[in-house]
Amino acid sequence: MYQFHYFKILVISAILTYGFNNALGSQILSWDQTEITRTLGPETIEASASFFVYNSGDDLIIIDRAESNSFACKTILKDKVIYPQSRAQIDVRFDADKKEGIYHNKIKIYITQETESISTLNFIVEIPEYIECQPKMHSWDATRPDTVVKSAIKIDPRFIKKIDAIEYDQQQYDVLLLASELDPYYYELHIKPLNNKRPFSSNITIKASSLNGAEIIERLYLFNSQSIDKNL
């Protein structure tokens, strides 16, 4: 009986000691920030950020590794050893593939002799839709071969001032771009088919220039199912 109680005391003591050491470790290391957000411009192919951690304790701490949840996000440990009363730098780079969206990258930080991460860094990267078209696709069939269709176009004023050009097959379609009187960054595109023998697929290319001069291109896709029906 006494041995059993002695074993319980040892287990409880070990748990409390482990919890105290973990709590102490979390107090010793402090970050300047744990979340950074970047927005990519049209001419940018990479987003980067630097996180800084400070060791306010009396012992040196060794960063074992930094693990990211994304293959597109790479981490560089500028300093693995954090001496007392000094700081370390962790650089993060995100390689953009130019797909619009918001990417939430999480980087877990591990120190030596710890199986659990001590901190999680958040690196949020936004790749805007510089030219937004709704809808991006139109189709016609035998029931509506010559119907005029419309797409709403909105440009991001953070990067674009205006649309430069609209390119399309003028023998197959008549296209009209109307600017809004209320919103200088909003347009309406009217598309009218000119003949029923047009090809099954074609597109309209919208071109603009960024504030830094980079070319920005967006496309609308047009489908004419009549061309398939006539060939069956």
- If asked whether residues 104 and 45 sit together in one domain, one would say yes
pLDDT (tens digit, 9 = 90+) per residue, 168-191?
A: 999 999 999 999 999 999 999 999
**Would 20 be classed as within a structural domain?**
no
* CA–CA separation, 232 and 227 (whole Å): 9
pLDDT (tens digit, 9 = 90+) per residue, 49-77?
A: 999 999 998 889 999 999 999 889 999 99
In the listed set 67, 92, 127, which residue is the last one of a domain according to the structure? 127
Burial label, 112 (beta-carbon count in 10 A; 0-12, 13-18, 19+): exposed
Domain extent for 100: 31-127
Half-sphere exposure of 152 (CA within 13 A, CB side): 6
Average pLDDT, stretch 145-149?
90
In the listed set 83, 104, 127, which residue is the last one of a domain according to the structure? 127
Helix (DSSP H) and strand (DSSP E) numbers for the chain: 2, 17
pTM as predicted? 0.75
Burial label, 204 (beta-carbon count in 10 A; 0-12, 13-18, 19+): buried
Predicted pLDDT of residue 227: 61
* CA–CA separation, 68 and 95 (whole Å): 13
**Would 205 be classed as within a structural domain?**
yes
What total of structural domains would you count in the chain? 2
**Would 219 be classed as within a structural domain?**
yes
CATH code, domain with 136: 2.60.40.10
**Would 65 be classed as within a structural domain?**
yes
For every residue of 144-190, DSSP letters joined together read: STT--EEEEEEE-TTTEEEEEEEE--TTTEEEEEEE-SS-TTEEEEE
Q: Contact 88/104 with Cβ under 8 angstroms?
A: no
**Would 36 be classed as within a structural domain?**
yes
Predicted pLDDT of residue 43: 86
**Would 214 be classed as within a structural domain?**
yes
